[in-house]
């Protein structure tokens, strides 16, 4: 097996201003691609290296390949968020995920190679000159000839090149419009080549990213997406890669589960944007007494409380010390955040979280995130017409996926809440978040239930109705119930978070 000379790696690292990447390896590859990059580890294909070293210096080829690979981390795409942005633009033009992926790969290669040639005095042109080329690679080389001013032994494709060479590849600010134009120009050729060979000669770029980078990228995508559907569509294009990184469960790719999974990811990433500093709630006094401080021993005092260590083994009044005991006044008193029960209305009058961004779900998700972060458990009661089975009960759990799944469920039927269902969750230390539009058929049952519980309840209702006024009136004397009337649905997450903050910062 060939080895990469240490001096070459030192030289390349210096050239690229010491990127934090591990020492690259040579690997026997089964694929056509010359490079493979997985979680920052660069692998150079041994077969490719043997082939190319017949035509050029092996060290020069290694340098060129490393230049290319490192520039993907230091310049383009830099992170998964940028990659997704570029891909989204390519998809808008191509309307096909395979073409969009290929176009993104080629575009990023042009960007990094041009960057290396311009800024880093790279041997990449020699590599392109001597490597085997398919039709698209020939077009790329014809483009490089024009924009780098180097001879790469390619001719033809004038019309395509005339259009491609007008794109400002090095200008980061114009990558979005650049990739749109790039995809538009190359689309016929990419369509023609779609069933042939691997994508770029330097491999695809989907395995470049670490889990953290993917996490951040998804978060940014969730923020910039117009709807959960748009997010889901884009995320599903990368389901294999995301599955590999553990972002999806096993159910991906099977009918409705797919859509639902993308939704969960969408709300999860959006909710994780809301951060809250939390203070833990002290637990109740246990009733036991613990040693607290010392006092001098006197004759009448019991022997069993003598602390022999501080009394130096002596039984002398005034010198010997006894322990004073106090109830629960110990330094290691355990503190705990209460559990949280989310009661969420998913009747027909509420927004369907799969179609549009549901602020009710997002608000609930924010509350869940805050409680989960502090080791508490969350239960969900998702209801529509609970009487006829339109309900979902998730017992207290810390399983984030299960929680989001139950929040994202949408029944879209009538509205009937069974207080007996809530009793299923009842425990002493439990905060309740109740998000609804209050158009509940058995309204009086609900009101009487809430009037009889002592837990802290935050009820968020959307829109004005007689029901909501009645609810407000009937619970007005209860100090443990806070009622919020929401005009704008987008205020729900802020209200929920504000309330969570108040609960968890409250001194007890």
The residue ranges that bind another protein (CB under 8 A) are: 92-95, 114, 117-119, 121, 146-149, 162-163, 165-166, 168-171, 177, 180-181, 184, 187
To another protein, the closest distance from the beta carbon of 174 in angstroms equals 9
Q: Which is nearer to another protein, 4 or 93 (CB)?
A: 93
To another protein, the closest distance from the beta carbon of 100 in angstroms equals 12
Instruction: Report d(CA 85, CA 304) in Å as an integer.
Output: 73
**Token duo for residue 401:** 């996926």
Peptide bond into 77 cis (omega under 30): yes
To another protein, the closest distance from the beta carbon of 15 in angstroms equals 12
To another protein, the closest distance from the beta carbon of 211 in angstroms equals 34
In which element (H, E) is residue 62 found?
helix 58-74
Instruction: Report d(CA 44, CA 115) in Å as an integer.
Output: 21
Question: Cα torsion for 361, 365, 367, 369, to the nearest 10°?
Answer: 180
Distances (CA, A) of 52 to 49, 148, 190, 402: 5, 21, 26, 52
To another protein, the closest distance from the beta carbon of 68 in angstroms equals 16
Instruction: Report d(CA 39, CA 23) in Å as an integer.
Output: 13
> Which distant-in-sequence residues (6+ apart) come within 8 Å of 277 by Cβ?
501
Q: Which is nearer to another protein, 124 or 361 (CB)?
A: 124
- Tokens 């110990």 sit on residue: 330
Contact 62, 34 (CB under 8 A): no
Output the 3-class SS for 133-146.
CCHHHHHHHHHHHH
Q: Which is nearer to another protein, 164 or 350 (CB)?
A: 164
Q: Tell me which residue of 255, 286, 271 sits closest to 362, measured CA to CA.
A: 271
Q: How would you label 27-53 residue by residue, b for 16+ Cβ within 10 Å and e otherwise?
A: bebeebbbbbbeeeebbbbeebbeebb
To another protein, the closest distance from the beta carbon of 109 in angstroms equals 15
Q: Which is nearer to another protein, 67 or 385 (CB)?
A: 67
Q: Is 273 helix (H, G, I), strand (E, B) or coil?
A: coil
The length of the chain is: 508
Q: Which is nearer to another protein, 114 or 436 (CB)?
A: 114
Q: Is 239 helix (H, G, I), strand (E, B) or coil?
A: helix
To another protein, the closest distance from the beta carbon of 192 in angstroms equals 16
To another protein, the closest distance from the beta carbon of 185 in angstroms equals 9
Q: Which is nearer to another protein, 180 or 439 (CB)?
A: 180
Q: Which is nearer to another protein, 178 or 363 (CB)?
A: 178
Q: Which is nearer to another protein, 150 or 294 (CB)?
A: 150
């Amino acid at each position: 097996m060939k080895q990469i000379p240490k001096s070459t790696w030192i030289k390349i690292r210096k050239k690229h201003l010491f990127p934090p990447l591990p020492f690259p390896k040579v690997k026997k590859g089964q694929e056509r691609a010359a490079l493979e990059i997985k979680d920052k580890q660069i692998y150079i294909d041994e077969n490719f290296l043997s082939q190319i070293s017949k035509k050029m210096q092996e060290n020069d080829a290694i340098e060129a390949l490393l230049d290319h690979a490192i520039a993907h981390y230091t310049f383009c795409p830099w992170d998964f968020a940028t990659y997704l942005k570029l891909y989204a633009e390519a998809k808008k033009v191509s309307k096909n995920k395979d073409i969009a992926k290929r176009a993104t790969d080629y575009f990023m290669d042009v960007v990094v190679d041009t960057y290396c040639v311009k800024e880093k005095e790279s041997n990449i042109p020699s590599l392109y000159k001597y490597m085997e080329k398919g039709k698209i690679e020939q077009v790329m080389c014809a483009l490089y000839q024009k924009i780098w001013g180097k001879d790469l032994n390619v001719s033809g494709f004038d019309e395509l090149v005339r259009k491609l060479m007008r794109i400002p590849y090095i200008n980061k600010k114009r990558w979005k419009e650049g990739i749109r134009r790039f995809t538009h120009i190359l689309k016929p050729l990419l369509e023609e080549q779609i069933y042939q060979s691997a994508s770029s000669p330097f491999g695809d770029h989907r395995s470049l990213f670490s889990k953290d980078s993917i996490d951040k990228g998804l978060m940014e995508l969730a923020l910039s997406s117009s709807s959960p559907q748009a997010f889901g569509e884009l995320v599903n294009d990368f389901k294999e890669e995301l599955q590999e990184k553990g972002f999806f469960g096993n159910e991906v790719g099977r009918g409705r589960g797919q859509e639902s999974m993308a939704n969960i990811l969408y709300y999860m990433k959006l909710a994780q944007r809301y951060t809250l500093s939390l203070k833990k709630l002290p637990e109740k006094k246990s009733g036991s007494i613990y040693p607290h401080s010392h006092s001098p021993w006197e004759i009448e005092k019991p022997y069993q409380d003598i602390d022999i260590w501080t009394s130096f083994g002596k039984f002398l009044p005034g010198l010997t010390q006894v322990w004073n005991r106090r109830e629960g006044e110990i330094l290691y008193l355990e503190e705990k955040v209460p559990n949280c029960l989310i009661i969420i209305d998913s009747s027909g009058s509420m927004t369907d979280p799969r179609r549009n961004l549901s602020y009710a779900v997002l608000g609930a998700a924010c509350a869940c995130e805050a409680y989960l972060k502090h080791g508490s458990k969350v239960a969900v009661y998702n209801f529509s017409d609970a009487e006829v089975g339109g309900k979902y009960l998730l017992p207290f759990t810390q399983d984030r996926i299960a929680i989001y799944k139950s929040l994202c469920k949408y029944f879209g039927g009538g509205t009937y809440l069974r207080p007996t269902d809530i009793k299923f969750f009842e425990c002493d230390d439990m905060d309740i978040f109740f998000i609804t539009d209050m158009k509940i058929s058995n309204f009086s049952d609900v009101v009487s239930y809430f009037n009889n519980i002592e837990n802290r309840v935050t009820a968020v209702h959307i829109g004005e109705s007689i029901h909501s006024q009645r609810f407000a009136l009937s619970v007005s004397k209860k100090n443990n119930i806070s009622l919020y009337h929401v005009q704008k649905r987008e205020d729900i997450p802020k209200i929920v978070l504000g309330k969570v903050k108040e609960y968890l910062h409250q001194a007890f």
